[in-house]
Chain A
Amino acid sequence: MIAVHDLAKQYHVGDHVVNALKGVTMSVGAAEFVTIVGPSGSGKSTFMHILGCLDRPTNGRYVLNGRDVSTLPPDELARVRNETIGFVFQGFNLLARTSALENVELPLLYTRQGVVRAAERRDRAMRALEAVGLTDRADHHPNQLSGGQQQRVAIARALVTQPSLLLADEPTGNLDSATSHEVMEIFARLSSDRGITIVVITHERDIAAYGTRIVDFRDGLVVSDRANEAREPARVG
């Protein structure tokens, strides 16, 4: 599914050169649920951006589904994001004054075939909402939804193009622990039921415990990469 080799990323901040990633090599198989942990500044977000084709590495190779995407031009990367990758963000990033359903439809406006027809859009968005159990909130606007519900709408939006890779950057950072676990349950289910590859960034150990594999980042390098034997996490509350 994912194969990165000696991935490096440099930023220029003024005269300084920041080495965010210093050569990461790892691979992720299909239907794996990987959680990435590490302190801030460890390079995990940069790694995630490159995995998500939002950014290109300075060095190294990134092969996604057998295709080298590390040197694709921006428009091609946009296609890859649209077709292969679903994103979930810490801040939900839903459009205000726009219904949950329309928020979920958003990726369908940018497909390779252009804008998907309205009826089909609605149909596919409803199915995605069904997967996160929010069909009854389809017409609600984000400000009428709780944080957990908003994040579930965001997950539905990530699922609507039926991607094979789901990337979540601190998806529970803005949620209380109960709803955090609800959200993580959804990820776990998507991984096991639908065989979607999931990569979640977190700095909370109990959230990381949902992964079948936990990767530790520090100073732009992978310091530990282990399978999570005790899959069942400690429930809180």
Chain B
Amino acid sequence: MQKFLRHPVVDTAIKALSRNRLQTVLTMLGIAVGVATVLAMMAVGAGAQRSIEQQVRAAGLNQITIRAGNWRPKITDSDEAVAHQGDARESLRHPLDRRNPDVLPIAFHPEDDPMEKHDHPTARQRLGDLEAGLGSAATMTFDDAEALRQLPGVQYVAGGIHENVRVHLDPSTGSGSPRATSRGDQKRWFTRMHGTDVMMPSIKRAWTFTSGRFFTEREQDRASQVVVLGQVVADKLFGPGAAPVGREVMLWNQTFEVIGVVTSATWVVQPAPGDDQFDAVYMPYTTTQRLLNLSKLNDITVTAESSGDISRLSREITKLLRIRHGIGDHEADDFTLITQATKALTTGGLPPSVARAVASNVAELEKVTLEQLAMTMERASRTMTWLLAAVAAVSLLVGGIGIMNITLLSVTERTSEIGLRMAVGARGKDVMRQFLFEAVVISAAGGLAGIVVGVIASIGIARTLQWATVVSPLSVVLAFGIATAVGVFFGWYPARRASKLDPIVALRRD
């Protein structure tokens, strides 16, 4: 450092800058404001980006769920749908049932609970997969899932089988004291079972594991009896704060090893009883297929690489599945596509039949609703970012002009010095380097001050406005780089002018 300060170029620069101390400091101030704004801008932008991403992920905007079975009225049936609007039973009817109005639609059947021991044929056995109603009309296969995986724009694909189950603590593992069974509702929990794919944690990006892990490819291949508990289930069975990993639970009178507990990674979604995500248990779909003797899937969850690609992807999926299932042009789909948008619509307080009619007929539906919400947020943060960018640009411009001004002043004041230096052997480039360096010293010093102010400002914004800010090392480096670049850019002209001075003319000026 000492050596650096002693370097003649540095030494001369310091002497020259201290000559116009007030102007130098004021110019630095301009640059500092610009750099601080740049830094705050990037911090706010990155913070907003991060919180939007979190919410979008939590909302699952890039997800499409394809359920087996079809409950929606077809576009060609829209007259009928409007005529029967409000008639839930009518709209719930399976299209195949409509030909015979006397047959009651099958929407849900208590027989579908696999916990029940039936002494008579179940709905599935009586009606066959397709007839058994939404979700349990097992028309979709693992091969369908594999085919969807090949579509361009698809990120992840996971097949699923879903059932309602009762989860017990395994009395044999010793966890149950003699009183455990008597206080049944504490040690037994009626919840949702998802037989799913190892890909699921990648799809549910707003997941985090409080303990343990998700099941592995190997466990899926072997159809192992392992289970991941949702936070709610873990709390209900083992009590809050317990460590269930490694313990055993009973489903369908079978022993399962608990390998993990999953909860929400974002404050936007909180685990709650009945929420289908964290009041749930997860196991490999192969295990479900083996134990329940099933060969089909209830649904397939697909995520798009881009959430803006949902509409196109939905069409592609529909086309592909219709071909795979051999559905003719005038026949109804035997599956249902559900996106966040359609879900939001159906839970939006509209009569279900109207909601469904809208969902099935409005193209580009996800351009509205949730995605729009995300876009509004993004637009707000973008407005903020642009505003800060404008402030930063203006202050850097003003600071840059200040640098140009003070450097020009310095060149004028030191004309005879420039002449002398040239007379004793300085070349144009030596002179140029000297003045450029002086300009950069001002801007870099201003930049450093600006970084300090910018970091403090970012923390201040985060604290007072509750606005997430992220100051990355890269943005600090970038801000400093911008400051230096401003110095070089605005110092260039005066330095060039100094280097082009005629030594004779310069010497004559005193």
Contact residue among A49, A55, A74, A106 (Cβ-Cβ distance under 8 Å from B424): A106
Stretch from B143-151, B294-302, B425-433 at the A interface = B425-433
B507 within 8 A of A: yes
**B416 to A93, Cβ gap below 8 A?**
yes
Contact residue among B8, B422, B510 (Cβ-Cβ distance under 8 Å from A115): B8
| Contact residues in B for A81 (Cβ distance below 8 Å) | 422-425
Assembled-state Cα–Cα distance A223/B426 (Å): 35
Assembled-state Cα–Cα distance A185/B202 (Å): 92
**B15 to A107, Cβ gap below 8 A?**
no
A170 within 8 A of B: no
Q: Which of A79, A106, A107, A118 has the most CB of B within 10 A?
A: A106
> What's the least CB distance linking B275 to chain A, in Å?
73
Assembled-state Cα–Cα distance A98/B19 (Å): 12
**A54 to B417, Cβ gap below 8 A?**
no
> What's the least CB distance linking B28 to chain A, in Å?
21
| Contact residues in B for A217 (Cβ distance below 8 Å) | none
**A82 to B503, Cβ gap below 8 A?**
no
**A110 to B423, Cβ gap below 8 A?**
no
Interface positions of B from 403 to 458, Cβ below 8 Å from A: 416-417, 419-430
**A106 to B507, Cβ gap below 8 A?**
no
Assembled-state Cα–Cα distance A118/B504 (Å): 29
| Contact residues in B for A124 (Cβ distance below 8 Å) | none
**A54 to B503, Cβ gap below 8 A?**
yes
Q: Which of B19, B428, B429, B430 has the most CB of A within 10 A?
A: B430
Assembled-state Cα–Cα distance A97/B16 (Å): 10
Residue of B nearest to A79 (CB): B425
| Contact residues in A for B428 (Cβ distance below 8 Å) | 74-75, 78
**A98 to B8, Cβ gap below 8 A?**
no
Contact residue among B19, B430, B504, B510 (Cβ-Cβ distance under 8 Å from A54): B504
Residue of B nearest to A91 (CB): B510
A143 within 8 A of B: no
Assembled-state Cα–Cα distance A4/B425 (Å): 22
| Contact residues in B for A52 (Cβ distance below 8 Å) | 423
Assembled-state Cα–Cα distance A55/B419 (Å): 12
**B425 to A78, Cβ gap below 8 A?**
yes
Given contacts A49-B504, A93-B507, contact A110 B427 (CB under 8 A): yes
A32 within 8 A of B: no
> What's the least CB distance linking B182 to chain A, in Å?
92
Interface size class on chain B is 20 to 34
> What's the least CB distance linking B393 to chain A, in Å?
37
| Contact residues in B for A78 (Cβ distance below 8 Å) | 422, 425-428
Question: What sequence of 0s and 1s flags, for each residue 134-166 of chain A, a beta carbon within 8 Å of any chain B beta carbon?
Answer: 000000000000000000000001000100000
| Contact residues in A for B7 (Cβ distance below 8 Å) | 115
**B417 to A55, Cβ gap below 8 A?**
no
Given contacts A93-B507, A110-B430, A115-B8, contact A87 B15 (CB under 8 A): no
B6 within 8 A of A: yes
| Contact residues in B for A87 (Cβ distance below 8 Å) | 423-424
**A93 to B420, Cβ gap below 8 A?**
yes
Residue of A nearest to B18 (CB): A97
**B425 to A107, Cβ gap below 8 A?**
yes
| Contact residues in B for A54 (Cβ distance below 8 Å) | 422-423, 503-504, 507
Interface positions of A from 69 to 93, Cβ below 8 Å from B: 74-75, 78-79, 81-83, 87, 89, 91, 93
A10 within 8 A of B: no
A58 within 8 A of B: no
Question: What sequence of 0s and 1s flags, for each residue 466-510 of chain B, a beta carbon within 8 Å of any chain A beta carbon?
Answer: 000000000000000000000000000000000000011001001
Interface residue total, chain A, C-beta cutoff 8 A: 28
Assembled-state Cα–Cα distance A115/B510 (Å): 27
> What's the least CB distance linking A12 to chain B, in Å?
14
Given contacts A89-B507, A98-B15, contact A106 B421 (CB under 8 A): yes
Assembled-state Cα–Cα distance A89/B417 (Å): 13
Assembled-state Cα–Cα distance A74/B422 (Å): 10
Q: Which of B6, B7, B19, B503 has the most CB of A within 10 A?
A: B503
| Contact residues in B for A83 (Cβ distance below 8 Å) | 425
A26 within 8 A of B: no
Interface positions of A from 95 to 125, Cβ below 8 Å from B: 95, 97-98, 105-107, 109-111, 115, 118
**B15 to A82, Cβ gap below 8 A?**
no
Contact residue among A75, A115, A118 (Cβ-Cβ distance under 8 Å from B427): A75
Residue of B nearest to A83 (CB): B425
Given contacts A93-B416, A93-B420, contact A111 B504 (CB under 8 A): no
Given contacts A49-B504, A89-B507, A109-B8, contact A74 B427 (CB under 8 A): yes
Residue of B nearest to A82 (CB): B425
Assembled-state Cα–Cα distance A106/B424 (Å): 8
**A157 to B424, Cβ gap below 8 A?**
yes
Residue of B nearest to A105 (CB): B8
Assembled-state Cα–Cα distance A81/B430 (Å): 14
| Contact residues in A for B8 (Cβ distance below 8 Å) | 105, 109, 115
> What's the least CB distance linking B311 to chain A, in Å?
65
Residue of B nearest to A157 (CB): B424
> What's the least CB distance linking A52 to chain B, in Å?
7
| Contact residues in A for B430 (Cβ distance below 8 Å) | 109-110
Residue of A nearest to B419 (CB): A93
| Contact residues in A for B510 (Cβ distance below 8 Å) | 91
Q: Which of B6, B7, B420 has the most CB of A within 10 A?
A: B420
| Contact residues in B for A95 (Cβ distance below 8 Å) | 417, 420
Given contacts A75-B427, A75-B428, A91-B510, contact A110 B503 (CB under 8 A): no
Assembled-state Cα–Cα distance A78/B504 (Å): 13
| Contact residues in B for A106 (Cβ distance below 8 Å) | 420-421, 424
**A97 to B424, Cβ gap below 8 A?**
no
Assembled-state Cα–Cα distance A222/B473 (Å): 71
Assembled-state Cα–Cα distance A97/B510 (Å): 16
Assembled-state Cα–Cα distance A135/B167 (Å): 99
Given contacts A54-B504, A93-B507, A118-B6, contact A110 B424 (CB under 8 A): yes
| Contact residues in B for A98 (Cβ distance below 8 Å) | 15
| Contact residues in B for A105 (Cβ distance below 8 Å) | 8
> What's the least CB distance linking A99 to chain B, in Å?
11
| Contact residues in B for A118 (Cβ distance below 8 Å) | 6
Interface positions of A from 14 to 57, Cβ below 8 Å from B: 49, 52, 54-55
- 7 further A-B contacts with Cβ under 8 Å, apart from A75-B428, A81-B424, are A75-B429, A78-B427, A79-B427, A93-B419, A93-B423, A105-B8, A107-B424
Question: What are the 4 tightest A-B residue pairs by CB atom distance, in nearest-first order?
Answer: A82-B425, A110-B425, A107-B424, A78-B427
Residues of B within 8 A of A (CB): 6-8, 15, 19, 416-417, 419-430, 503-504, 507, 510
Sample (18) of A-B pairs whose CB atoms are under 8 Å apart: A49-B504, A54-B503, A55-B504, A74-B427, A74-B428, A75-B428, A79-B427, A81-B423, A81-B424, A81-B425, A82-B425, A83-B425, A87-B423, A93-B416, A98-B15, A106-B421, A109-B8, A110-B425
